[in-house]
């Protein structure tokens, strides 16, 4: 069985929804994972924010605006009276439900319920469209099998058990549709896998049922060797290892959600990144044996980074110092991207500044602290194992004309990371591309 995930742009219009059958093969056993229609999640976030601050009239207006967009979509999508009625009843139900929450005490729990409506609508619309044109399909509610534990980690064995039981009920069906992003938490409440989580859903499903392949359909023909938005003549990479793809995704290659590789990697399920707009393009295959020795594969950049520098003479020859510092970040659930140390100083970077002020206040107990915002991590991915020669030097030579804040090398066999002010990002990407490729 194959798992096919389509993002918001792939279901962003009636034409796009109809065009999915150019890719989905109803004769093959497949599970189709859909995101919400493009723009829906952002609109639902706006509605939720209005509810959270008590602006019920604003929420009502936003609900109407977004429902009107769906009214236009279903008029284009359905060609029969019954098909249109099914679509109209669907959006009436979901938007009436969202509107009814104005009478509730709105909390983050209700917010997650609101955010789930986008995927529930998109999957039902595709299912109804297939019914209208006579293509059999089964709608599998993700809330019946997708679950996270008390640490917000997915319960892969549970997912596999529940999903296989559901699939067994339909031995003669080949095409199944389910929602990305949404799940239930350990309390049984509606929750989600965070933004971009549809990739993660597809990977988790593939891992849980040991699928033949997970396909991530997006709007570009695979993972490129640099950011095509700012660098000319980038090329798609035919084959990557799981480790290389994970590094690229984490450090800024937005085509793939950073977490999406890990379940597939753990259970050795190949992932293929493909282009909805150009289905014949080869895309990028990500698998266990994708790494190539002696090659630099790609460059990515991660923005909105904050660098924190801690200077303290107490570090000198002191054991336990870094542990105490890291415990502060752990307490505020703030991940660290990069870290460099010297005898009396440590510099590190974070991308979540939610608790930055509190973190700095506590870290100041250890020494002098400074923070630089608007930083970017530029990551070069390839073979940087201990037996390679000269690649790190080539990377640094390419950016020798730019001011560098931090360098991370040796922590991974797959990347060299450089921290710099964001104003130099574009020049760094272009210079590295010219020098390395």
Q: Which residues are annotated as a binding site?
A: 5-8, 41, 119, 218-219, 229
Cβ atoms of residues 272 and 216 within 8 Å: yes
Provide φ and ψ at 381, rounded to 5°.
Answer: -110, 135
Place of tokens 């990305």: 180
Residues of each annotated binding site for substrate? 41, 119
Cα 357 to Cα 363: distance, rounded to the nearest angstrom? 10
Give the DSSP H/E element, type plus range, for residue 382.
strand 368-382
Provide φ and ψ at 6, rounded to 5°.
Answer: -120, 130
Cα 437 to Cα 298: distance, rounded to the nearest angstrom? 9
Cα 257 to Cα 252: distance, rounded to the nearest angstrom? 9
Alpha helices in 108-256 (DSSP H): 108-132, 156-168, 197-208, 242-250
Residue 186 to residues 255, 269, 318, 382: CA-CA distances in angstroms?
A: 30, 26, 41, 39
Beta bridge partners of 214: 3, 271
Cβ atoms of residues 419 and 349 within 8 Å: yes
Q: Which tokens sit at 58? A: 């604003």
């Amino acid at each position: 069985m194959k798992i096919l995930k389509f993002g918001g742009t792939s279901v962003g219009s009636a034409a796009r929804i109809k065009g999915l059958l150019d890719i989905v093969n109803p004769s093959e056993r497949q599970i189709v994972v859909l995101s919400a229609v493009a723009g829906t999640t952002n609109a639902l976030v706006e509605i939720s924010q209005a509810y959270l601050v008590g602006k019920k009239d604003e929420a009502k207006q936003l609900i109407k605006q977004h429902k009107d967009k769906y009214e236009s979509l279903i008029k284009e999508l359905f060609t029969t009276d019954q098909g249109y009625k099914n679509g109209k009843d669907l959006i009436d139900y979901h938007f009436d439900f969202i509107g009814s929450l104005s009478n509730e005490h709105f909390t983050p729990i209700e917010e997650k319920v609101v955010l789930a409506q986008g995927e529930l609508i998109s999957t039902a619309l595709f299912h109804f469209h297939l019914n209208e044109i006579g293509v059999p399909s089964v709608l599998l509610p993700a809330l019946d099998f997708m679950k996270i534990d008390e640490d917000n980690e997915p319960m892969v064995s549970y997912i596999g058990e529940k999903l296989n039981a559901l699939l067994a009920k339909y031995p003669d069906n080949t095409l199944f549709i389910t929602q990305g992003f949404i799940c239930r938490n350990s309390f049984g409440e509606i929750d989600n896998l965070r933004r971009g989580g549809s990739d993660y859903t597809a990977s988790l499903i593939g891992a849980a049922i040991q699928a033949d392949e997970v396909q991530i359909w997006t709007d570009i023909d695979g993972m490129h060797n640099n950011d095509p938005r700012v660098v000319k003549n980038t090329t798609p990479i035919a084959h990557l290892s799981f480790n290389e793809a994970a590094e690229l995704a984490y450090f800024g290659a937005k085509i793939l959600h950073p977490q999406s590789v890990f379940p597939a990697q753990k259970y050795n399920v190949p992932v293929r990144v493909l282009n909805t707009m150009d289905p014949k393009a080869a895309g990028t295959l990500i698998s266990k044996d994708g790494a190539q020795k002696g090659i630099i594969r790609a460059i990515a950049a991660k923005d909105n980074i904050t660098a924190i520098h801690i200077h303290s003479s107490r570090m000198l020859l002191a054991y336990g110092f870094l542990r105490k510092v890291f415990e502060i970040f752990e307490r505020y659930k703030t991940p660290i991207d990069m870290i460099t140390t010297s005898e009396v100083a440590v510099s590190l970077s974070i991308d979540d500044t939610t608790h930055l002020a509190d973190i700095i206040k506590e870290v100041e107990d250890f020494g002098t602290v400074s923070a630089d915002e608007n930083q970017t991590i530029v990551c070069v991915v390839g073979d940087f194992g201990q037996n390679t020669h000269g690649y790190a030097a080539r990377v640094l030579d390419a950016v020798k004309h730019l001011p560098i804040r931090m360098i991370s090398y040796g922590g991974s066999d797959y990347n060299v990371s450089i921290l710099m002010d964001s104003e130099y990002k574009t020049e760094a990407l272009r210079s590295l591309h010219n020098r390395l490729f």
